[in-house]
Structure 1
Amino acid sequence: MKKISLSLAIVAAMGLGAVGSANAANNGKLVFNGTLTNITCDIGAGTGASPGTNPGEINVDMGNVSFSEIGRFADNKLATASPIQLLVNCTGGAAQYNTVDMRFVARQGSGLDNLDQKLLRTTGAADGVGIGLLNSSYQLMDLSGNETIDAPLVQDGAGGATAELNFGAVYVLNGASTNPGNADGFLPFVMDYQ
């Protein structure tokens, strides 16, 4: 999974280099940062999720929700939340690691909601709503920050390990006028092992 982290860093560095070259004449630099590990892990869908059609995708069904059942971020109205469980299965190189941290990259997904930057922007016909993530303590997370979902790696004694990441997702009003319709979104994530 560190390969994903490294590729995101390269894309970000390339984007920063392009911005910098607009202000500078003919020079600049790319700064590459990354870490290579021996750990090999797969992330699969558990309860509340299903495999997507493309590798690495995990589908979460948010259900058919009425605007009257959801509230603003501060209201912490979570009755319609969809629980999500991801299963981490490391087949080798895990002996030196104790935890897995899942961090989210909303800006590279459907983006942060324009009216409430703590939420994921939705795509589709619906207006007035964003998607909020719930941490393992069932509290809304601020997607514009650095919050992570963390879990211990359970060693199997043969260099492998497993972990369960339990969290949730819920529709949250963003303050705009509401309009019914599809409210989809996508949220890239990176797994860090420590």
Structure 2
Amino acid sequence: MKKLSVFLAVMAAVGLSAATTANAANNGKLMFKGTLTATTCEVLPGAGTGGGAAGEINVDLGNVSFRDIGTFAQGNLSTKEDIQLLVTCNGGGQPDSVKMRLVASQGSGLDLQEPKLLRTSGDAKGVGIGLINSNSQLMSLNGNETIDADFVPDGLGNSTATLDFAAVYVLNNVNTVPGSADGYLPFVMDYQ
């Protein structure tokens, strides 16, 4: 009887295996593509900007009164906080320039009232966070507009680019409520 039980168990396992194989008829392939380079680039906080965890740049917008900010059309940028990022590359095949894209959809998201602002989290209502380019213009945060800089070689096989811009609270036409107003904004560096 033991031999028959073992035989039936083995036959059931073979049958289950065949049934599983028969049901797994969908085929496909993974396509991988990439580029390797001898160049290593690092993004670090510059003047007036603090470092956080690996890959994070901290920007403190401070304690700001609603009366000191306005809509972007009003042009009140007195509470803006300057941001400087230093991009340093070393190794062979140095890039000539860098373009930084801001992708709000992968972070706090775009403000529902004013789509050029970063949505804030926290208790405060009535504001978003705007990023200001070097021409004092409110930037689009949808990943299409870039902050650009050329690399400057140091003669030792390294090169550095400096990205300068600013952040500011901007009213978004919602009734204001005081409190914390935080946000996070992922960025992508494109080297050329």
- Match for 2:38: what amino acid? N
| Partners of 1:94 and 1:160 within 8 A in 2 | no
| Partners of 1:44 and 1:86 within 8 A in 2 | yes
Which secondary structure does the structure 1 equivalent of 2:105 belong to?
helix
Which secondary structure does the structure 2 equivalent of 1:86 belong to?
strand
Which secondary structure does the structure 2 equivalent of 1:107 belong to?
helix
Pairing 1:16-165 to 2, within 5 Å after superposition: 35-52=35-52, 54-95=53-94, 97-144=95-142, 146-165=144-163
For 2:185, the equivalent position in structure 1 comes to 187
- For 1:117 and 1:27, how far apart are their aligned partners in 2? 42
Question: Structure 1 stretch 162-171 or stretch 32-41: which is displaced more?
Answer: 32-41
For 1:4, the equivalent position in structure 2 comes to none
How many aligned residue pairs are there?
A: 167
1:132-153 Cα distance to aligned partner (Å, 9 max, x none): 0011222211213611111110
1:32-53 Cα distance to aligned partner (Å, 9 max, x none): 665543321111111121011x
| Partners of 1:47 and 1:84 within 8 A in 2 | yes
Provide closer, same or farther for how the CA distance between residues 94 and 175 of structure 1 changes in structure 2, counting only shifts above 3 A: farther
Which secondary structure does the structure 1 equivalent of 2:144 belong to?
coil
- For 1:76 and 1:39, how far apart are their aligned partners in 2? 41
RMSD between aligned alpha carbons?
Answer: 2.0
1:59-83 Cα distance to aligned partner (Å, 9 max, x none): 0010111111111132221111000
- For 1:92 and 1:171, how far apart are their aligned partners in 2? 39
| Partners of 1:84 and 1:168 within 8 A in 2 | yes
Which secondary structure does the structure 2 equivalent of 1:147 belong to?
strand
- For 1:86 and 1:145, how far apart are their aligned partners in 2? 18
Q: Percent identity?
A: 63
Max Rg structure = 2
Give the CA deviation at 1:101. 0.9
- Match for 2:72: what amino acid? F
- For 2:46 and 2:89, how far apart are their aligned partners in 1? 15
- Match for 1:39: what amino acid? T
1:122-181 Cα distance to aligned partner (Å, 9 max, x none): 010000000000112222112136111111100123432111111100000111110000
TM-score (norm 1): 0.78
Give the CA deviation at 1:85. 0.7
TM-score (norm 2): 0.79
1:173 to 171, 174, 192: 171
- Match for 1:137: what amino acid? N
- Match for 1:89: what amino acid? T
Unaligned runs of 5+ in 2: 1-25
1:72-103 Cα distance to aligned partner (Å, 9 max, x none): 132221111000111111122353x2111111
